[in-house]
Homo-oligomer: A and B are copies of this chain.
Amino acid sequence: MTAPTPTQLAHAIRFLAIDAIVRATEGHQGVPLGMAEIATALYTRHLKFNPADPTWPDRDRVVLSNGHGSMLLWALNYLTGYEKISLDEIRRFRELGAHCEGHPEFDPSKGVEVTTGPLGQGIANAFGMAIAEASQRARFGAGLVDHFTYAFVGDGCLQEGIGQEMISLAGHLRLGRLVLLWDDNQITDDGSTALSISEDVAERFRVAGWHVAEVDGHDIDAVSAAMDAARQDPRPSLLACRTVIARGLARLQGQRGGHSARLYPEDADAARQLLDWPHPPFETPAPVLHAWRTAGTRSLPAHAAWTARRDALPAVERAEFDRTLAGELPAGWRETLHAYKREALAAQRMQDAPGGILISADINDRLTDVLPERLVGCADLEAPTSHKRRLHAFTADDPSGRYIHCGVREHLMGAMANGMAAHGGVIPLAVTYLAFSDYERPAMRMAALMGLPVKFVFSHDSIGVGKNGPTHQPVEILAALRSMPNMLVLRPADAVEAAECWEIALEHRSGPVSLVFARQALPTVRRPSATGDDSDDSDDSDARDNRSRRGGYVLAEAEGGPRAATLLATGSEVAIALKARDLLQAEGVPTAVVSMPCCERFDAQDADYRRSVLGRGAVRVAIEAAVRFGWDRYLGEDGGFVGMTSFGASGPADALYEKFGITAAAAAATVRQLLAQRA
């Protein structure tokens, strides 16, 4: 074999995919076979990357939004020389523990920028990466941050609403470094795309302000030229690449079965015949492999130049750049929160207490000066959530802004935040009402699955929403969020716990958090520590001691005897629990109140601590303006619950708390009843 042709490079992808899928007995050949030429054009002629330093901060990002086509990525990453993706791993495609999973799973060290699979998420992540790039470039300059984000994308991602949200907002924000590579094969799982779509997709992008090029996706030169044009254009770009699904498999190409019909050794043999590829399974001829490995070194000069520029930075600037990339927090962030907490403890605001979400807004406003990498997205609820304040908007003309008006596009907002977190260098917040978290939930699940430190912020967290009615009143959503693995759900009771929860949220790096705030006022329930005096020292110990960190704690201990009852509550219901405790204590029932801002953290405590907080012999009643589902693990066999058993209703918040019986009187009555049953 002489120097391989570009087409032979593409065939190397094809046959690795075919052989691995035949061996695994399942997989999705449609994408790797249909997009082999597109990928070859990208990786051998355009992509800025370095398999020897896969997490190079200024690398171009590549997202395989059609993640079922994972063999495309595994083949590319093997061929270009990512150490983790060895030929052995390719052979282990889809086996348990293999690096080559059925869908790509987040691990930049093996060339996977983001986990993909659920359609539409990937291109929305890519959009978030492009925002993070633009934001960082605005801050640190193009010498340090100057890369593209490419996404492979199929019809499914573009049919999904989240994909449409992305098209609209990316065009609006003129994200010129975002390039989509559309596998326009006119086939989805059901068959012809004509079954479910008849619009001109390219035109839909043009309407949204995108640069669009329509090319033959199997013509490497044409695709490459289109990539050049895309990179020059100030708008985001769609390369609409006409392709043949499963190209090379005579039995399946261009057909519905091309997507993922089972492949057999005979199919592989036939493809070898058809494409003139007389090499054994899993064997890439040396000249072809060499050409691919050479492509894997094409950005070494750029890598060296970038490293030199980074090294030449003034120490302070370099440290700041490195810090944000490492996801480390700057000096002063914790003190800012402690100061807020100290003030809240001192002020003890009751009748004049601000709404829960406004407390979070106040805290975030304080963080503006100390956490410049914080990027806040909000889905058209700026006024009621108030997390903009002194930030200015990120716009097409000014990417230095740190507030993103996402429009009424919650799903995109969540997935965008994931992309920003996966990109690194920024701390994304995504703000909306809790009732609308369901719109974001598929993205939240991906954040939890990937372990991305996204801060999902929610307001209007219960029937406390009031007159807007049950559509806007979460009742099941806390439970639904708490059921999600690797998701911390934080629901603070007052300004003190809010500061503590923000401290937990910012410290937490191994996954997302949901910070859940009431619309209604949250009077201060935490008191300065009883042992303290007015000296600065005790103040500081109160400020530093984050009682929320253990998830649940005794806010008010029973008095006048051994604890007879424990009232557990979160958020806005903690104040109700305290009132119920007053009623019961007045009747001589020694009652403790446990505040439980984070069930997941409480569950992680040792058994002794949990028992001591819950109170071993005490009857236990939980109070939360939400469903009981999930609470029983704290209540024992005879526990009680004061909360919701249905959706809410339209009416004033106070009237709703009465109507649904979430009151101090009801909680006290429940305790009395349980004690009587025991007696």
> Which residue numbers of A lie inside 8 Å of B, CB to CB?
24, 26, 67-68, 94-98, 101-103, 105, 115-120, 155-157, 159-165, 168-169, 171-172, 188-191, 195-200, 203-204, 207-209, 378, 380-384, 393, 405-412, 435-436, 438-439, 441-442, 445-446, 448-449, 466-472, 475-476, 479-480, 482-486, 627, 629-630, 632-633, 636-637, 644-647, 649-652, 655-656, 659
Contacts and interface: CB of A to CB of B under 8 A. Distances in A.
Given A448-B647, A630-B483, A165 B161 contact: yes
Nearest to A636: B637
A651 B26 CA distance: 11
13 contacts: A95-B651, A101-B649, A102-B472, A115-B471, A161-B161, A169-B197, A198-B209, A439-B442, A479-B630, A480-B480, A483-B630, A485-B645, A486-B647
A419 B156 CA distance: 24
Contacts of A471: 67, 103, 115-118, 446, 449
Contacts of A468: 68, 102-103, 117
B393 A195 contact: yes
Nearest to A196: B407
Given A165-B160, A196-B172, A647-B448, A436 B95 contact: no
B199 A467 contact: no
A160 B439 CA distance: 9
Contact of A650 (B105, B155, B198, B476): B105
Contact of A439 (B118, B200, B633): B118
Nearest to A658: B96
Contacts of A199: 168, 171-172, 207-209
Given A95-B651, A102-B650, 6 more contacts: A95-B652, A102-B466, A103-B471, A159-B380, A164-B165, A195-B393
A628 to B, nearest CB: 8
Contact of A96 (B101, B406, B475, B655): B655
A408 B155 contact: yes
A470 to B, nearest CB: 6
Nearest to A210: B199
Contacts of A467: 24, 26, 94, 102
Contacts of A162: 161
Contacts of A630: 479, 483, 629-630
Contacts of A383: 189-190
A159 B95 CA distance: 41
A318 to B, nearest CB: 35
A103 B484 CA distance: 30
A633 B632 contact: yes
Closest 9 CB pairs of A and B: A161-B161, A96-B651, A117-B471, A196-B407, A164-B164, A101-B650, A479-B483, A156-B408, A480-B480
Nearest to A659: B96
Given A196-B407, A199-B209, A439-B442, A470 B483 contact: no
Nearest to A378: B190
Which of A67, A97, A407 has the most chain B CB atoms closer than 10 A to its own CB?
A: A407
B470 A105 contact: yes
Which of A191, A436, A630 has the most chain B CB atoms closer than 10 A to its own CB?
A: A630
Contacts of A103: 468-469, 471-472, 650
A98 B190 contact: no
Given A467-B102, A480-B483, A188 B407 contact: yes
A388 to B, nearest CB: 9
A197 to B, nearest CB: 6
A485 B651 contact: no
A646 B197 contact: no
Which of A67, A98, A380 has the most chain B CB atoms closer than 10 A to its own CB?
A: A380
Which of A172, A209, A438, A479 has the most chain B CB atoms closer than 10 A to its own CB?
A: A438
Contacts of A98: 650-651
Given A95-B651, A172-B196, A405-B190, A207 B209 contact: no
B196 A169 contact: yes
Given A159-B407, A190-B383, A407-B159, A476 B469 contact: no
Contacts of A627: 483, 485
Contacts of A171: 198-199
A200 B195 contact: no
Nearest to A599: B629
A409 B633 contact: no
A98 B649 CA distance: 10
B159 A101 contact: no
Contacts of A479: 479-480, 483, 629-630
A289 B204 CA distance: 45
Nearest to A649: B96
A582 to B, nearest CB: 27
A141 to B, nearest CB: 27
A116 B378 CA distance: 22
Nearest to A471: B117
A93 to B, nearest CB: 9
Contacts of A466: 102
A306 B383 CA distance: 49
A97 B408 contact: no
A453 to B, nearest CB: 17
Given A96-B649, A204-B207, A636-B637, A406 B655 contact: no
A566 to B, nearest CB: 15
A431 to B, nearest CB: 12
B636 A483 contact: no
Contact of A381 (B189, B438, B485): B189
Nearest to A482: B629
Given A197-B172, A483-B479, A486-B646, A412 B24 contact: no
